[in-house]
Amino acid sequence: MSQIVIITGVGKRLGFKLAQTLLQQGYDVVGTYRTEYTKLAELRELGAQLHQVDFYQQEQVDNFIALLSQRYPTIRAIIHNASDWMQDPVCKDDAQASAAEVMQKMMAIHVAVPYQINLASQDQLRKNGHADIIHIGDYVAEKGSKKHIAYAASKAAMNNLTLSFASLLAPEVKVNSISPALLKFNPDDGDAYKEKALAKALLPREAGFDEIIDGVQLLLNSRFMTGRNLQFDGGRHLK
């Protein structure tokens, strides 16, 4: 079987750590990134094939999909990790264009791009015999958000992609989602913000990248799970 794993958004945080881990385990990682980071050299040294793609530019999306078709006759897995976290604009009449742009971008990166890649790659996945698509979602899709309405809506739509593609691609390809909450704080997050975020869960701590990577590996190893959403939320739904 092919060991080619496509991972979108490997430039930092979870995407970087996931790519690094799978490379060390012997997978052939093909990654995308939008911004060049110095640390990407570490992935290249491990053998990653990296491509700079701006998923907000349809021409670049089309070129990347064509590249996948030309270079990789079979694919072991596609992990849709690329994401953006745009806050909604203030709801005023003069902000409507900006509001439209926010929604368009959130739906593009979290829904339209995975949709296109999944459809275009379905034969390459099926030919592998045992293949996976994993959408990296967000717990906020279950609850909504007052300040990130477009983001939450797009992540909910991503979860629905999981259901549809699981039905379309079975039995050769399993399709699942992973939805973390409070994955990992950023270095510039203040103490007040951290305290408030931690208080939302029964388990008041970060999930951490390793927790999600373990979830990815569970799905890759599974032979009997499809159309499901793994929730790593610390028990937020019970608070």
Which one of 27, 72, 139, 151 is the catalytic residue? Answer: 151
Q: Both tokens of residue 56?
A: 């907000």
User: Going by C-beta distance under 8 Å and a sequence separation of 6 or more, which residues neighbour residue 197?
Assistant: 182, 185
Greatest alpha-carbon span in the chain: 55
Residue 6 and residue 136 in contact, taking contact as beta carbons nearer than 8 Å: no
Q: Could you give phi then psi for residue 189, rounded to 5 degrees?
A: -70, 130
Report how far residue 227's alpha carbon sits from residue 161's, in angstroms, rounded to the nearest whole number.
9
Q: Both tokens of residue 152?
A: 């939450």
Report how far residue 56's alpha carbon sits from residue 64's, in angstroms, rounded to the nearest whole number.
13
**Catalytic-residue membership of 72:** no
Strands (E), the chain: 4-7, 28-33, 49-52, 77-80, 131-136, 173-180, 229-232
Which residues are part of the catalytic machinery? 151
